[in-house]
Chain A
Amino acid sequence: MAENAIELVGINKSFGAVHANRDINLAIPRGTIQGIIGENGAGKSTLMSILYGFYQADSGEIRVNGKPATIATPNDAIAAGIGMVHQHFMLVQNFTVLENVILGAEGEALLNRSISRARSELRRLEKEYGLEVDPDAIVEDLPVGLQQRVEILKALYRGADILILDEPTGVLTPAEADHLFRILAQLKAEGKTVVLITHKLREIMAITDNVAVMRQGQLVASRATKDTTVEELAELMVGRRVLLRIEKGEAAPGDVMLSVRNLTVKDSRDCTVVKDVSFDVKAGEIVGIAGVAGNGQSELIETISGIRRAESGTVSLKGTLLDVTRHVDPGDLRDWGLAHVPEDRHHVGLVLPFEESENAILGYHDHPRYRKGPFLDIERIRQSAREQMTRYDIRPANERLKTANFSGGNQQKIVLAREIEKDPDVLIVGQPTRGVDVGAIEFIHKRLIEMRDAGKAVLIVSVELDEIRSLSDRILVMFDGRIVGERAGDASEGDLGLLMAGVEQREAAE
């Protein structure tokens, strides 16, 4: 048996003019955990997609266990013993765990035999790796952490020796992430090889043996994890020194600008997702809402910003009571000084096929500044978009370019520029830096602090605990639709992690 589970030799891949992977050479020793980090668009997902057969490399060679392998489809990858756990799970929501595991490996027309085979195999895997899941549970009833476990089981059931995980912790609580890492360590101990793609430096430090850094399609560095530091990796990723944690002064809170009382919200499936939530945001402070994705934060900020209707409760903006149980026009809220940077910039905050200048007025297209009778003042709009692009360093500085052609960080800056430039009194930001490059994160965080220091009330929601902790003056933790605790901005990660997992609440209930 060869020493390396996977060797990538001279891999090149271009999409049109974009050289997504440039001459990548990487050897991954058997029985180790290999980290791959890089900014968005650095080419790490492309590389893994080539390894898993979604794309074909333009040139180069893949060797699995020392032997050259042709991986044209995911089936080839599975046959070669490579399994992949995707960032967005590929599970059939209304199937049981067992049915999901055998999906695509049913074997024969009748299912009973393959199901019983799968059942005993699952039991074995459970014992071996600590991957406990009830095989008869319906997937959609499982928490996200367990769904991810099903994905891992799927790969192992197909005989994967090499497991690729793409941003696996994005949807997990710190505790769930820790459990995942224990599973990965167990897999490693059993001789499996794990490839972990992430942009979270701490995870790399905590779990991997080796780490490869990608930047602009190239593999810029390979290190043994124990010989490197977070600072060095960050610098390698970005190509320059970055401030991982921004400096900010003391907050000087003023009057209450936004006040939420007993807010209860149902989602489209009629489940109550926000339960009796009350809090205030004052001028000159940043309040962060922490929580694992899907605990009602999204619905909460959608309700405050007029996109979703509440079942009951009130929101007051600068002392004016809004009837959020009826339809509140987001346009009116803007006029009254509330700006909102939505979590999902691709579908909500931006219209991707629009030109940049058209997105720079989204929501403000009725503003007197941009209109000329029934017409849009196109010249004016483009002019002010150009100015905005300079001020926010949005690149490429072409206001006629389709928004889809901007990178994630620049797209986020487009939204942020649009909302901040209207000088709102209350700014709500959902996931300020999701999918944003490290360099742009620093820029965005600085802007948010500036807003605070200018006496604005800022409410942020983020699943990145680090971000919440570095920005917030006060932290509210949401779990299962409720605010389960409030902490100061310097609360410890462990403390917040417990709250996010709902631990305190459960104890209180018992």
Chain B
Amino acid sequence: MSTPYAKLPAWADYGLIPLINLIVAFAVAGLVVLLVGENPLRAAGIMLEGAFGSGRNIAYTLYYSTSFIFTGLAVAVAFHCGLFNIGGEGQAYIGGLGVGLVCLTFDSILPWWLTFPLAILGAAAVGAGWAFIPAYLQAKRGSHIVITTIMFNFIAASLMVYLLVGPLKPANSMAPQTRNFLEGGQLPKLNWLIELFGGTVRSSPFNLSFLLALLCAFLVWLLIWRTRLGYEIRTQGHSPKAARYAGIGETRIIIITMMISGALAGMMALNPVMGDQGRLQLDFVTGAGFVGIAAALMGRSHPAGIVPAAILFGMLYQGGAELAFEMPNISRDMIVIIQGLVILFAGALENMFRPAVQSLFASISPRSMGVAASRSGGA
């Protein structure tokens, strides 16, 4: 007899458990703050204030979140196929090349709303291309995707350094970056969106790519749960043997999935490069590829979970920056520790509290559990 399959209602699975994980993460982070000799409650207050306290702060939070939505979706799509794409960082970085080249070429001749779709294509194509190589090696040669994608992060970084100190750098510049894009290569800000809700934003990097990120979240949902391709991706992810039995070509599905994943990661570059900095420069990804892994884990690989998870991490980024500023004892590294704790509890220790919650639910409302149904089903 197999162990009965205990199942939680969706709201507990997707809401309660992440919340518990989050509370524990903050409790432990609070201990760390206490250890440094600061008041954890005050630190939390500063952090929240820093993330949501004003229209400007919200705009910054959402700016960071935009990047994490893209990379989170990228990781999630690959997860659904049973692939662990750790290469979001590199795919996003190299995706910047697509954005940069499109902007440098067209910013003087096209308005932004024509450059934007081209830049989307450029970012997606380059990101997908970068993911194609590990995907091909996995599908055809069995090289493990975790190893190859992480290696490709380093290759992407080196390649970008080479391009930005060499071919892409204007001749008489000292900085390793491209020239500034003209108006046709810059995305409009979304500050009005926040002002619509009564906030005031004088200046912020919050830009149009946020809406693109939300659109992508919807499209990813559509892809995974409503299309035949998504069905094939999930079948392959849950059970490669069943996929083979169903006539789903393993090579094809791995390569397609990874390219979609890479395209999403690549599109992250639109946010900082075209939306904020207005030029291609070094290290604009700043770890978003890795935070995307945490966002995907925490959001249970579902767009409806990834968006809030990405906003949470955006909050940690923005609020953390304010915290480091307000409390000199808490350095930037401490913020990274707090972020790390959230990732640890939300991602790696995701299932730590699950058994307890499950037995709690079983004792409260047996009927909400899937097991009752399986018993009555004996033929």
Complex partner residue of A15 from B6, B228, B235, B373, CB under 8 angstroms: B6
Contact call A351/B238, Cβ cutoff below 8 A: yes
Contact call A406/B241, Cβ cutoff below 8 A: no
Contact call B242/A348, Cβ cutoff below 8 A: yes
> B-facing mask of A336-367, CB < 8 A → 1, else 0?
00001010100111111110001001110110
For the complex, what is the distance from the CA of A405 to the CA of B371, rounded to whole Å? Answer: 7
Contact call A15/B379, Cβ cutoff below 8 A: no
For the complex, what is the distance from the CA of A15 to the CA of B363, rounded to whole Å? Answer: 10
Within 8 A of B (CB), among A346-395: 347-354, 358, 361-363, 365-366, 371, 374-376, 378, 393-395
Contact call A350/B242, Cβ cutoff below 8 A: yes
- Name the residue on A nearest B244 (C-beta): A307
Contact call B244/A366, Cβ cutoff below 8 A: no
Complex partner residue of B377 from A42, A344, A365, A406, CB under 8 angstroms: A406
Indicate whether A303 reaches chain B with its CB closer than 8 angstroms.
Answer: no
Contact call B227/A374, Cβ cutoff below 8 A: yes
For the complex, what is the distance from the CA of A340 to the CA of B244, rounded to whole Å? Answer: 13
- Name the residue on A nearest B370 (C-beta): A405
Cβ of A394: which chain B residues have Cβ within 8 Å of it? 379
B374 to chain A, nearest CB (A): 4
For the complex, what is the distance from the CA of A434 to the CA of B247, rounded to whole Å? Answer: 24
Stretch of A1-9, A260-268, A396-404 contacting B (4+ beta carbons < 8 Å)? A396-404
Complex partner residue of B242 from A42, A351, A413, CB under 8 angstroms: A351
For the complex, what is the distance from the CA of A44 to the CA of B1, rounded to whole Å? Answer: 8
Contact call B5/A404, Cβ cutoff below 8 A: yes
Indicate whether A332 reaches chain B with its CB closer than 8 angstroms.
Answer: yes
- Name the residue on B nearest A374 (C-beta): B227
Indicate whether A255 reaches chain B with its CB closer than 8 angstroms.
Answer: no
For the complex, what is the distance from the CA of A344 to the CA of B242, rounded to whole Å? Answer: 10
- Name the residue on A nearest B363 (C-beta): A16
Indicate whether A425 reaches chain B with its CB closer than 8 angstroms.
Answer: no
> A-facing mask of B241-261, CB < 8 A → 1, else 0?
110111111000000000000
> A-facing mask of B344-379, CB < 8 A → 1, else 0?
000000000000001100100011011111111111
Contact call B231/A330, Cβ cutoff below 8 A: no
Contact call A46/B379, Cβ cutoff below 8 A: no
For the complex, what is the distance from the CA of A401 to the CA of B371, rounded to whole Å? Answer: 11
Contact call A376/B226, Cβ cutoff below 8 A: yes
For the complex, what is the distance from the CA of A139 to the CA of B115, rounded to whole Å? Answer: 67
Cβ of A440: which chain B residues have Cβ within 8 Å of it? 379
> A-facing mask of B1-36, CB < 8 A → 1, else 0?
101111100000000000000000000000000000
Chain A contact-residue range equals 35 or more
For the complex, what is the distance from the CA of A443 to the CA of B378, rounded to whole Å? Answer: 13
A327 to chain B, nearest CB (A): 9
Contact call B371/A17, Cβ cutoff below 8 A: yes
A17/B228 contact (C-beta < 8 A), A348-B239, A362-B235, A407-B378 known: no
For the complex, what is the distance from the CA of A351 to the CA of B235, rounded to whole Å? Answer: 7
For the complex, what is the distance from the CA of A45 to the CA of B376, rounded to whole Å? Answer: 19
Cβ of A348: which chain B residues have Cβ within 8 Å of it? 239, 241-242, 244-245
Complex partner residue of A439 from B249, B359, B379, CB under 8 angstroms: B379
Cβ of B238: which chain A residues have Cβ within 8 Å of it? 351-354
Contact call B379/A40, Cβ cutoff below 8 A: no
Contact call B379/A307, Cβ cutoff below 8 A: no
> A-facing mask of B149-170, CB < 8 A → 1, else 0?
0000000000000000000000
Show 23 residue pairs from A and B whose CB-CB distance is below 8 angstroms, ordered by the A residue.
A16-B358, A18-B4, A46-B1, A307-B245, A331-B246, A332-B247, A348-B241, A349-B242, A351-B235, A351-B238, A358-B231, A362-B242, A363-B246, A375-B227, A375-B228, A378-B226, A395-B376, A405-B370, A405-B373, A405-B374, A407-B377, A413-B379, A443-B379
User: 6 smallest A-B Cβ distances: which pairs?
Assistant: A331-B247, A17-B366, A16-B362, A363-B246, A330-B247, A15-B4
- Which residues of A pack against B, CB within 8 Å? 15-18, 20, 39-46, 216, 305-307, 329-334, 340, 342, 344, 347-354, 358, 361-363, 365-366, 371, 374-376, 378, 393-396, 398, 401-402, 404-407, 409-410, 413, 437, 439-440, 443
Given A41-B375, A342-B245, A361-B231, 19 more A-B residue pairs with CB atoms under 8 Å apart are A16-B6, A17-B371, A46-B1, A340-B245, A347-B241, A352-B239, A354-B238, A358-B231, A365-B228, A374-B227, A374-B228, A376-B228, A395-B377, A396-B374, A396-B377, A402-B5, A407-B378, A437-B379, A439-B378
